[in-house]
Amino acid sequence: MENSRSGFYFLVLCCASLLFPTCCSSKHIPLFIFGDSFFEAGNNNYIRNATGRANFWPYGETFFKYPTGRFSDGRVIPDFIAEYAKLPFIPPYLQPGNHQITDGVNFASGGAGALAQTRPAGSVIDLKTQAIYFKNVERQISQKLGDTETKKLLSKAIYMFNIGSNDYVAPFTTNSSLLQAYSRKEYVGMVIGNTTTVIKEIYRNGGRKFVFVSTGPLGCLPYLRASNKNGTRGCMDEVTLFSKLHNSALIEALKELQTQLRGFKYSYFDFYTSLSERIKHHSKYGFEKGKVACCGSGPYRGILSCGGRGAEEYQLCDNPSDYLFFDGGHLTEKANNQLAKLMWSGNSTVIWPYNLKTLFQE
């Protein structure tokens, strides 16, 4: 009796999911992407005064064979995560045309930070504006599916963040007065505070499952090494210190949010350690070069001239998959693939409390 009854419900659920595949299938989980150039898929192509863009050759040369606006020779981390989750590529919010927004939207923008002042107004989509755009999308989904289905869909959705790096790099590269009025602790507190505000807003709108990528060893990016005026062209330890402070504060903030917000679930990816390992032991991970970028100029090809937009002269390597870094601030597709795999199915030494495979199923 008990068995035949559950069999009946199973049949009803299957029929419902066949009739309404986009809203009722338990497998259908949207992916919303927030952040900076590590996650961008082309929003800045549509910003007239964008701080940075990657919509020219050789960006995209390996996989897409044309420049899409992704800061890599090929796919970026969210592309691989979407693939593992059996979703299509998630389109940039600003890209014209009709999108299947119930699969998710990518709000990330190269140069963006959690602090509005990190970039001149209008040159990036900062985190706060990304959250406003998300609300627009929520309204559009509501008009399509109604409030009840939208709530269900948004509570199953994954909200993935990569934010903070630009807030810590900009004071050492583009605007030295950003830090002037603040101690390190205050500045990190502002970045975390603004990020927390956005998380809470998405939670209020029904979001429950969040993913955070830690900041990397920022001072060791080829771009920062090339900017190091200390003579050694070594890592800029002062920038890396901000990254460490940020990551500790982020872990604390996430634990705190979990006690405050009922049903809040998160994954924290230790990108810092995973990238440091690959810089140090590049050959162990299949890279011939771990410090110098494939495309750019100057020390470590760290000057952001890839494609000739910054300076006339630049060098381009023959085989990006020999390199960890594609340009002075961004990774090759091969590196992105390795990291996305760790996020998807890595164990609790790299991603915790859940890996993404588990978080998608939760």
345 is catalytic: no
322 is catalytic: no
Closest distance of CB 117 from ligand NAG, Å: 4
281 is catalytic: no
User: Which amino acid does the sequence have at 185?
Assistant: K
Closest distance of CB 68 from ligand NAG, Å: 22
Closest distance of CB 251 from ligand NAG, Å: 18
Of the residues 99, 246, 282, 330, only one is catalytic, namely 330
Closest distance of CB 355 from ligand NAG, Å: 11
Closest distance of CB 316 from ligand NAG, Å: 28
Paired sense of beta strands 295-296 and 265-269, if any:
unpaired
Of the residues 28, 37, 123, 126, only one is catalytic, namely 37
Query: By the criterion CB under 6 A, which residues form the site for ligand NAG?
Result: 48-49, 115, 117, 120, 122, 128, 172, 175, 177-178, 190, 193-194, 197, 230, 236-238, 347, 349
Q: Which residue lies nearer to ligand NAG by CB, 221 or 317?
A: 221
3-state DSSP assignment of residue 246: helix
Give the bridge partners for 295, in sequence order.
Answer: 316
User: Cβ contacts of residue 270 below 8 Å, gap of 6+?
Assistant: 214, 247, 349, 350, 351
User: Cβ contacts of residue 54 below 8 Å, gap of 6+?
Assistant: 37, 40, 44, 60, 67, 68, 69, 70, 71, 72, 110, 307
Give the count of beta carbons closer than 10 Å to the beta carbon of residue 116: 14
- Both tokens of 161, joined, read 């963040």
Of the residues 79, 103, 270, 327, only one is catalytic, namely 327
User: Cβ contacts of residue 228 below 8 Å, gap of 6+?
Assistant: 234, 235, 236
Q: Which residue lies nearer to ligand NAG by CB, 194 or 305?
A: 194
Closest distance of CB 200 from ligand NAG, Å: 10
Q: Which residue lies nearer to ligand NAG by CB, 62 or 194?
A: 194
Q: Which residue lies nearer to ligand NAG by CB, 153 or 178?
A: 178
Which value, in Å, is the radius of gyration of the alpha carbons in the chain? 21
Contact of 79 with 41, CB cutoff 8 Å: yes
Q: Which residue lies nearer to ligand NAG by CB, 7 or 122?
A: 122
Q: What angle (nearest 5°) sits at the alpha carbon of residue 267, between those of residues 261 and 132?
A: 60
Closest distance of CB 282 from ligand NAG, Å: 17
Burial of 78 from C-beta contacts in 10 A (0-12 / 13-18 / 19+): buried
Q: Which residue lies nearer to ligand NAG by CB, 58 or 328?
A: 328
Q: What is the DSSP string of 40-51?
A: -SSGGGG-TT-S
- Both tokens of 280, joined, read 């140090």
Q: Which residue lies nearer to ligand NAG by CB, 62 or 227?
A: 227
Rounded Cα distance between 201 and 194, Å, is 11
The residues assigned a catalytic role are 37, 327, 330
